[in-house]
């Protein structure tokens, strides 16, 4: 299997943001000895990680896709890091590339996603003297906190359109404003 890279042009059949050279370098610098195997095995792991990142129910990125035919969430228009830079419409953020590498390492040794019996909503489970129960708001799948931390600045925080999100935020306390419908900076109060 050969990887088809998303180049920032909205490739319809893309199956990766990075190639094995990028991933090899990423893991080498971090001393991840588990990143081994054939090129084919590494490419398969990268493709699985790419698919995981493409699940937009799991990861809701800021902005909008640039074309209707692209397979991947990126490239995007209007994607800006929270309190940071705006990405150009042909740019794949380093955060997405690095997240794919982290997930690919996991995919080399096992499945990223699994079928969840009854949706994974376990209230209580006992095996002999050992029992497990989960909080009511516990996620039904494995959470990769390292990946979530990398991606957080480019994810929506409310699940609604980013423009709406701007209007729902409180004005900065440092801004001077007069009481009324609009403050002196033109933002809604």
Predicted local distance difference test score (pLDDT) of residue 114: 62
Predicted local distance difference test score (pLDDT) of residue 1: 65
Predicted local distance difference test score (pLDDT) of residue 127: 76
Burial of 56 (0-12, 13-18, 19+ CB in 10 A): exposed
pLDDT tens column, 62-81:
999 999 999 999 999 999 99
Predicted local distance difference test score (pLDDT) of residue 145: 82
Q: Which residues of the chain have pLDDT under 50?
A: 118, 161-184, 189
Instruction: Please choose, from the candidates 13, 16, 6, the residue with its C-alpha nearest in 3D space to the C-alpha of residue 47.
Output: 16
Instruction: Please choose, from the candidates 112, 100, 101, 109, the residue with its C-alpha nearest in 3D space to the C-alpha of residue 25.
Output: 101
CB 26 within 8 A of CB 98: yes
Predicted local distance difference test score (pLDDT) of residue 111: 83
**Cα–Cα distance measured from residue 16 to residue 161, given in angstroms and rounded to the nearest whole number:** 26
Predicted local distance difference test score (pLDDT) of residue 59: 92
Predicted TM-score of the model (pTM): 0.74
Instruction: Please choose, from the candidates 144, 160, 163, the residue with its C-alpha nearest in 3D space to the C-alpha of residue 152.
Output: 144
**Cα–Cα distance measured from residue 180 to residue 178, given in angstroms and rounded to the nearest whole number:** 6
Predicted local distance difference test score (pLDDT) of residue 181: 47
Predicted local distance difference test score (pLDDT) of residue 56: 86
Write out the DSSP string of 95-117. Answer: HHHHHHHHHHHHHHHS-SS---G
The one-character DSSP state at 150 is H
**Residue holding tokens 């039904």?**
140
- b/e sequence 118-149, b meaning 16+ C-beta within 10 Å: eeeeeeeeeeeeeeeeeeeeeeeeeebeebee
């Amino acid at each position: 299997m050969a990887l088809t890279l998303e180049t920032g042009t909205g490739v319809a059949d893309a199956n990766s943001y990075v190639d094995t050279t990028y991933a090899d370098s990423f893991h080498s610098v971090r001393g991840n000895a588990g990143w081994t195997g054939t090129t084919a095995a590494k490419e398969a792991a990268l493709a699985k990680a790419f698919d995981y990142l493409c699940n937009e129910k799991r990861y809701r990125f800021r902005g909008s896709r640039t074309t209707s035919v692209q397979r991947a969430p990126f490239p995007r228009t209007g994607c800006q890091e929270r309190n940071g830079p705006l990405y150009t419409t042909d740019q794949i953020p380093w955060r997405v590339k690095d997240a794919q590498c982290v997930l690919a390492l996991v995919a080399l040794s096992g499945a990223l996603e699994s079928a969840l019996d009854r949706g994974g909503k376990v209230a209580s489970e006992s095996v002999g003297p050992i029992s497990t129960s989960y909080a009511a708001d516990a996620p039904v799948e494995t959470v990769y906190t390292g990946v979530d931390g990398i991606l957080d600045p480019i994810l929506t925080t409310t699940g609604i359109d980013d423009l709406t999100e701007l209007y729902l935020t409180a004005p900065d306390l440092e801004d001077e404003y007069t009481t009324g419908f609009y403050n002196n900076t033109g933002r809604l109060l």
